[in-house]
């Protein structure tokens, strides 16, 4: 008879949009993970009833309530295997992910990504995991560069890029235009020496 392997499921979605739906992204991730665990019952896998769901939290940080709770339960010896839908649900940062793997190793916890075949107990599995994480981090950095480039190009065209406009201006078609009434007030204040 196989040893019982206590499996838990971690889900994450970066944005809160859609979480109010009856069946959302977190539910879909959990369902896929539950099905995977069920397919491994012959190996002794058992799904724990407690789930760890971080809706509306970025994968760029480890400061997520459910993830921190999962870490605590791992340290308390309550988990043997963590199952996620995709690796990037745990982290999009190679540095952070290496910290997670270190914690898993310290407590003999294995890690499975349902949509990506990884076995973190083998050296080849670790290599492939690190390659994939490197690409995930690259993708995140590339997205950040694109956003910064678009922001800079829009600014260069004189477009207002957000926030409250300075006193004396209004926003019209994403550009600052003088608010005549406020401009009079500013001139008055300036001439009065304030």
Report how far apart, in Å, the C-alpha atoms of 71 and of each of 3, 61, 64, 103, 192 are.
23, 14, 11, 8, 61
| Cα 75 from chain centre | 22
Angle (CA) 70-60-55 rounded to 5° is: 55
Residue whose pair of structure tokens reads 């040893």 in the numeric block:
3
Mean pLDDT for the chain? 85
119 pLDDT band (50/70/90 cuts)? low
Three-state DSSP at 105 gives: helix
What is the reported pLDDT for 143? 83
Overall pTM > 0.85: no
pLDDT value at residue 19: 64
Q: What is the pLDDT of residue 44?
A: 93
Q: Tokens for 113, please give them.
A: 């990504």
Give the residue-averaged pLDDT of 150-160: 80
Q: Of all residues in the chain, what percent carry a pLDDT higher than 70? A: 95
pLDDT (tens digit per residue) in 82-115: 999 998 888 877 778 878 988 998 999 988 988 8
Nearest to 111 by CA among 94, 92, 89, 138: 89
For residues 65 and 187, the model is more confident at: 65
pLDDT (mean) for 14-42: 85
Tell which wins on pLDDT, 180 or 18: 180
For each of the domains in the chain, give its residue range(s) and CATH number, in order of start: 5-142 (3.40.50.1390), 158-194 (no CATH)
- DSSP letter at 149? H
Q: Note the maximum CA span of the chain.
A: 89
Q: Which of 2-11, 65-74, 125-134, 159-168 has the highest mean pLDDT?
A: 65-74
pLDDT of residue 41: 93
Mean pLDDT, residues 160-175 taken together:
82
């Amino acid at each position: 008879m196989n040893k019982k392997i206590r499996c838990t499921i971690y889900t994450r979605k970066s944005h809160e949009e859609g979480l109010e739906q009856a069946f959302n992204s977190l539910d879909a991730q959990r369902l896929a993970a539950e099905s995977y665990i069920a397919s491994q019952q012959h190996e002794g896998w058992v799904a724990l009833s407690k789930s760890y769901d971080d809706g509306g939290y970025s994968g760029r940080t480890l400061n997520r309530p459910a993830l921190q709770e999962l870490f605590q339960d791992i340290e308390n010896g309550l988990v043997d295997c963590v199952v996620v839908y995709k690796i990037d649900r745990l982290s999009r940062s190679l540095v952070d992910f290496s910290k997670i793997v270190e914690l898993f190793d310290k407590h003999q916890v294995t890690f499975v990504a349902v949509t990506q075949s990884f076995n973190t107990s083998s050296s080849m599995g670790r290599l492939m995991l690190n390659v994939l994480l490197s690409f995930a981090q690259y993708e995140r950095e590339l997205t950040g560069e694109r956003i910064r480039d678009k922001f800079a190009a829009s600014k260069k065209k004189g477009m207002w890029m957000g926030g409250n406009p300075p006193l004396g201006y209004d926003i019209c078609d994403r550009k600052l235009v003088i608010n005549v009434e406020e401009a009079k007030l500013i001139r008055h204040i300036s001439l009065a020496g304030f």
